[in-house]
Structure formats: C-alpha cells, structure tokens
Homo-oligomer: A and B are copies of this chain.
Amino acid sequence: MSSNAFGKLLTVTTFGESHGPAIGCVVDGCPPGLEISAGEFTQDLQRRATGKSRHTSARREADEVEILSGVYEGVTTGTPIALLIRNTDQRSKDYANIARQFRPGHADYSYWQKYGIRDPRGGGRSSARETTTRVAAGVIAKKWLAQRYGVTVRGWLSQLGPIVPQGFDWNAVEENPFFWPHAAQVDELESYMDALRKSGDSVGARVTVVADGVPPGWGEPIYGKLDGELAAALMSINAVKGVEIGDGFDVVAQKGTEHRDLISAQGFHSNHAGGILGGISTGQQVVASIALKPTSSLRLPGQSVDVDGQPIEVVTTGRHDPCVGIRATPIAEAMMALVLMDQALRHRAQCGDVGDVSPRIPGTLDG
C-alpha cells in the first residue's frame, strides 16, 4: 500500500509538489455508471482556492482539472480515474532563500531529516497545495454518496482563533469567505483577519464537518472503524493537531447518564456520540471536528538553524495564509466523503446493501 494513497476499496493516490509541473490523483474503485465531467470539479476547487478573499495566500491557481482516464462518454467505467491539475502560478524564486533554512514549526526540518533531501519550493510535497487533489477526489465521492444513498457532507468554520459562532445557519456558510455559520459576525472576522495579517502573525482554527443521511452499519470494527478512519483521514490534513467525533474532548467531564444517547421508537433523543458507536454508524448525523494550528511561515522573525546546524533568524516573505483553517472546510468535507464512500463499498461487500437488515431505527429526533 502506497503511503501516498488512502482508502481500501475506493483508493485515492495523490502526487505532486507545490511548485512542480503538476499535481494530481488517481481514484481507483469508483463504481461504473457515475456521470462526471471536468466542470463538476470547479465549485469545490474554488471553495478551497486561495483566490476567494484577501485573507488567504495571494497565489492564484487556475486549478483546471483534466480527466485523463476512467471516464468514457461522460460516465465512469470502473477503471481508475486520473485527475491532473497543472501548477501555473509557481514563483520559486520566493523560496530561494529558505532552501537551506528550517522554518520553525514547518515540515522543512522533518523532511530533511527523513530523506536527506527536500524540494524547498513552496514546501514541496508538504505544501497544502496537495490538498487540492483531495478536494477533486472528494467531488466524486460526494456525488456518488448523494446519488446512491442520499448522503450529503458539509462543513463550517466552528472557531477562528478566539472567536466562536454566536448562531448557526447553513445558508450563511457559503455566503462568506470563512465558511462561517453566522452572518452577523462576518465583519468581526474580517477585522480580526486584517489586523492579524498586518501584525505578521497567524492563528489557529477549528472546522466541523457533518454527514447527513448515513445509514446505520457503515464502519468495520476493529481496525477499520469509521471513527478510526475518519481520524486518520482528518489528521492527515496539513496543520491538523486534533480530531474529535461527536462531543469529542467534552466527554472527559461527562457522566454516563449525560453522554449516552437515549432511544425511543421514534429515534435517538440526542447525538453525543456523533453518529458512531463501536466504530459503526448508527444512522444519525456523523459529526467530526478538527483543530488546525496557526501557519508557521511568518514575516515575524523566528530563531532557527540552517542545514549545517548554524543558528539563523528566519523570516518568510512568500505568499502564505495567516489562517490555514479558513480554507480547510472543503478539504475536511472531501476527506469525510472519501472515507464514507470507501466504507459504503466495504459494507456492501461483507453485509450486502443497506436495507437487508432490520429493524431500522430513525435518526435523531431533533436533528
């Protein structure tokens, strides 16, 4: 199994460096018969793209997807779907000065230690540019899940530095550059980010992603659990330092009577579990949250060493996001969708398709 691939039956292999000629992925295991065209990738790639607002990196990529294989006359054939995205806005000279430096908090250092060599241009393979290919693959998974099982995957920014949402409205999420669920706070966020950018510093964020319509039974115990694979998939996103399912770390202080989700004939009364018990979906909304660290590439000088171990002061002048979390929502959605599609295929392999087992108990009463 390639370490640049994930998924057991729906396997996505990604490749490419930030400033290489191209990035891309191979999506293998997609069932035949799904209609897909190059244009369908545009929306989610733009949601992830840097061009969405002044609060993200100034790099401007066309992010045009070329479908190289696996689709015939607009329909998937069951063979591997290769997606290619050319890099068009590399400015490798921006990085010349850091080729021999280790930015504090950056994968520069660990790649160098592991491989003894690294592509310093824009972070090379460790750049978040790689996540573009995840989002592209996720478009396929989202469409298949929606068409085949009526499953939808959506997310939002659930914290930006110290700021938390004061309200929640799905309609607001796509109407601002932060995926923020409360329109009244957007001005506050803009101001916060403007000040942050001017200061030269960066900040962390939290993203929550949910799947509605997931039938009970998806997830393979013990080491292919739905929550275990979500954790791996979400933790693999650049800058993520924590993953929660349902109530997450809040469960530490909860009592059992408080946490357990009671059930009646009409369904569950609550969803502290985040839709997963014993690694298997319950039929409720699947809920996961991630913590993203502040960007380590800063204009503010930081103490470090160079490749010879000599002390230096690092200042990063390239194009960087002051808060990588702002663009993480579509990436997290893609990862959840890919995990769910993989688990859906695995479930029907071992247990037959949804609907073969009864009784089925409806989802959460209140949500």
Contact partners of A68 in chain B: CB under 8 A: 15-16, 20-22, 24, 84
Q: List 20 A-B contacts (CB under 8 A).
A: A2-B13, A29-B349, A32-B115, A72-B124, A113-B357, A114-B280, A114-B347, A203-B256, A204-B252, A230-B235, A231-B234, A235-B245, A241-B244, A242-B244, A244-B291, A249-B291, A251-B292, A256-B295, A260-B298, A263-B304
Contact partners of A243 in chain B: CB under 8 A: 231, 235, 242-243
Bound-state CA distance A295–B259 (Å) is 9
Identify the closest chain B residue to A291 (Cβ).
B249
> Which residues 193-232 of A have a CB within 8 angstroms of B?
201-206, 216-225, 227-232
Report whether B3 and A293 are in contact in the complex, using a CB–CB cutoff of 8 Å.
no
Shortest Cβ gap from A97 to chain B (Å)? 17
Identify the closest chain B residue to A236 (Cβ).
B228
Bound-state CA distance A293–B161 (Å) is 27
Shortest Cβ gap from A263 to chain B (Å)? 5
Identify the closest chain B residue to A253 (Cβ).
B162
Interface residues as binary, A246-265 with B (CB distance below 8 Å gives 1, 0 otherwise): 11111111111111111111
Contact partners of A125 in chain B: CB under 8 A: 69, 77, 79, 221-222
Shortest Cβ gap from A156 to chain B (Å)? 14
A296 at the binding interface (Cβ < 8 Å): yes
A184 at the binding interface (Cβ < 8 Å): no
Shortest Cβ gap from A178 to chain B (Å)? 14
Identify the closest chain B residue to A30 (Cβ).
B350
Report whether B31 and A13 are in contact in the complex, using a CB–CB cutoff of 8 Å.
no
A303 at the binding interface (Cβ < 8 Å): yes
Bound-state CA distance A273–B107 (Å) is 11
Shortest Cβ gap from A6 to chain B (Å)? 4
The 7 lowest CB-CB distance pairs between A and B, nearest first, are A107-B278, A105-B260, A3-B224, A202-B256, A110-B280, A349-B349, A113-B216
Report whether A111 and B278 are in contact in the complex, using a CB–CB cutoff of 8 Å.
yes
A9 at the binding interface (Cβ < 8 Å): yes
Bound-state CA distance A88–B8 (Å) is 33
Identify the closest chain B residue to A82 (Cβ).
B15
Identify the closest chain B residue to A22 (Cβ).
B68
Shortest Cβ gap from A209 to chain B (Å)? 15
Report whether B231 and A349 are in contact in the complex, using a CB–CB cutoff of 8 Å.
no
Contact residue among B3, B251, B350 (Cβ-Cβ distance under 8 Å from A204): B251
Shortest Cβ gap from A133 to chain B (Å)? 10
Report whether A220 and B3 are in contact in the complex, using a CB–CB cutoff of 8 Å.
yes
Most buried by B among A5, A106, A113, A231: A113
Bound-state CA distance A115–B339 (Å) is 20
Shortest Cβ gap from A68 to chain B (Å)? 5
Contact residue among B5, B309, B359 (Cβ-Cβ distance under 8 Å from A223): B5
> Which residues 75-124 of A have a CB within 8 angstroms of B?
75, 77-82, 84, 102-107, 109-119, 124
A26 at the binding interface (Cβ < 8 Å): yes
Contact partners of A31 in chain B: CB under 8 A: 350-352
Bound-state CA distance A258–B187 (Å) is 25
Contact partners of A347 in chain B: CB under 8 A: 114
Report whether B221 and A4 are in contact in the complex, using a CB–CB cutoff of 8 Å.
yes
Report whether A78 and B114 are in contact in the complex, using a CB–CB cutoff of 8 Å.
yes
Given A24-B68, A28-B3, A126-B221, A348:B351 Cβ within 8 A: no
Identify the closest chain B residue to A320 (Cβ).
B256
Report whether B255 and A201 are in contact in the complex, using a CB–CB cutoff of 8 Å.
yes
A302 at the binding interface (Cβ < 8 Å): yes
Report whether A20 and B69 are in contact in the complex, using a CB–CB cutoff of 8 Å.
yes
